[in-house]
Structure 1
Amino acid sequence: MHYLTVSLSHKNSDVALREKFTYTDEQKEACLQNLLQSEAISEAMILATCNRVELYGCCSDIENALEHMLHLLTSKSGLSKEFIKETAEIVDDSSAIHHLFAVASSIDSMVVGETQIAGQLKDAFKFAEGKGYSGQKMSRAVEHAFKTAAKVRNFTEISSKPVSVASVAIAQVKEKVANLSGKKALVIGVGEMSEICAKHLLSDGVETYITNRTKEKAQYLADACGANVYEFGELHKAINEFDIIFTATSAQYPIITDDMIEDVEFERFWFDLAIPRDIEMSHKASIYLFSIDDIKDVVDANKAQREQDVRKAHGIVGRNVVAFYEWLDALNVEPMIKEIYIKANKAVETEMARALKKGFIPKECASQAEKMANQAIKRFLHDMTKNMREVSTEAKSDSMTGAMQYMLNSQNDNIPDKYKHYMKKD
């Protein structure tokens, strides 16, 4: 079994390219369903955010699985397979696990240390698992990715000052506007990014409004933040009245276009944090429009400040990749089954020697008695070891394997020391 990842992210794709790979929940499910139509792919997950779209797969044949993934991305985007193959980051096995751990730890993010990616990855896995497209193999990798991310947070200062794309965008506003008090801002959308924007704006004394197609959702977020609600149907008026606009919706088409924009006498600062983009406009002299890719300066400064922590984090990720594969090896039931039989045979030899020494068995019957004892052991262990092999492909097998590791713990086993008494450690 192999792990395979195809990644199009802020590192290799601009906004215009990433827009071609946006997915609704229905489209995500269709993509996952199509991925598993390949005989080479047994489990799959798709991670789609404003900064990346990534296909994750557990596969039996990397080459065939990759061809299938590239075909699906080609169908989705209309781009050539060759272009996607040259542009995307394509990694397999330990490199794919390293990539997943780095993503979960936010050291692969545009804004290093940002706090949203862990939740986005968790949602991506829950979606795939809930629909039946991810199982034991993907679960193992994702679970260890989150454990790695926790270690990165605990042993580095990478998240000591929580940041996100939204908070970086707010920093851009402060650079452009000397005094935010007295300004009016409109936040379009009710996701996590919108909530972060609203809270930052309110803390800086900005009169802030929330709008959304579903008014109840806008009201809920507004109540939680202490903001006001603006009617979504009046959006065409709002864009000509507000000083600052943040938009981060899941709309599949622009919600602000040229025909809605009027000339005004004040400067406007618009931040389009959505993929695909919410704003489609020609250049306007009084409007400063920022997209996801326009926050590079702040992002670069963020990376420079966290360089030492990033190096330390990469070291943690690397060590955890090695530990993950050692752990997978330790989960193999065949060495444990072999060890069970070895221990059983040794027990028979020990008891036979004791019985002969004590005179419990006549020497002339020793061979037959030993044969009978070995046969009894085999009969006893047959169903148990058969069940072990069968359950090894199921989600609960990790707990079973851990229990067996604990019971088999001895100086003669072949289980790495770090995994002995596994059940106790966890």
Structure 2
Amino acid sequence: MGGGGQLDTEVASNANVALYTCFSVGGIFAGPIVNKIGPSISLALGGLTYALYSGSLLYYNHLQKDAFPIVSGAILGLGAALLWTGQGAIMLSYPPESDKGKYIGLFWVIFNLGGVLGSIVPIGLNWNSTAGSVNDGTYIGFMVLMAFGSLLSLALLPPSKVIRDDGQCVTIQKFPKWEEEIVGMAKIFIDWRMIALFPMFIASNWFYAYQFNGINAFYFDIRTRAFNSLWYWTAQIFGALFFGRFLDWSAFGRRTRGILGLGILTVILMATWIGGLFFQLTYKREDNITRMDLYDSGYITKILLYIAYGIIDAIFQCYAYWIMGALTNDANLLARYTGYYKAVQSAGGAISWRIDAVGTSYLAQFIICWVLIAISIPFALPVVLRLKDTNYESKSADDKVDLTTTKSSEGAA
């Protein structure tokens, strides 16, 4: 809803600067840690830091002191690095090559169902509120849900016990010495493909500060902010589902799908941000506006733009994940790729939230977002052009399990 549900967005912006700064640093080391302790424990530990951050906003609601939210944001940044690196390793290494787009889309559906629920809660609790911030029950509800979800992740299977639908085992290299793992992570930073994808990665969360604070928190009242968020995340569900399915379309080879996907992404991105420019030119940060309610005249065009922003967020990040998944099937390497992705992405987030926190004009923020997204497209193209149709290097008995025989044996047992 922007501003952490508060009327004054500065404290949330500063907390997000701390969050994304620590997230960026943590992402560098998260890959080796996830490879050592496993994705399940990584998700559980990381998820609990989200509950802590929600608790800090409850604290701020009463005492209006920003030290705890900022420190909690920093702790959340480290926890989020573990959570998202573990999640990325699972999402990209568990599915068969032919279903990676579908699994990325499926993850995005689950992920955004959280956003949908996270919008329904404040809608129900704040529908008739005239206050500038959400009530205590909103934060308490989030804390309970986050803690429960974190513990639930302990039920996930480890990669070593996963057999894909096509009989392939998940590729896992034996964990090396810490020194070797750190060297392996360092090599990611000089991999030409990761360098080429750097603009896409850094742009992938940059626009959140502008969209959540510069549009949603600034322009709309509290219940409309929650209502906008509901449709923002709902739109992402459908965008991810359809785009993920397209990226798996067997009528084309993987390289062709990558090129077509990049073309579709470019068209949708440019159309949406052109529409966003016309809207942004209607107001400035220093304007003293009456915040719009969802029943006000002219609201329909604003919510349609916000829905479009949600769709491009989903397809942009799904495409970034799909490219990484198309480069390798090795779970350990994908954990490093994901750690690098989250490190770069979070560095961009830290900068963008800081830009907002110091009062930068919304038009300037808009232009920066648009430029970063635009330049990421041509940089990603060389990586897409060099994708292989498969990364399965061996179909030997050691790499593949006969599922029919396995199931028969289990039935006999």
User: Under TM normalisation by the shorter chain, which class is it?
Assistant: under 0.3
Higher relative contact order (CA 8 A, sep 6+): 2
Q: Which has the larger radius of gyration?
A: 1
Task: Give TM-score, length-normalised by structure 1.
Answer: 0.27
Task: Give TM-score, length-normalised by structure 2.
Answer: 0.28
More strand by share: 1
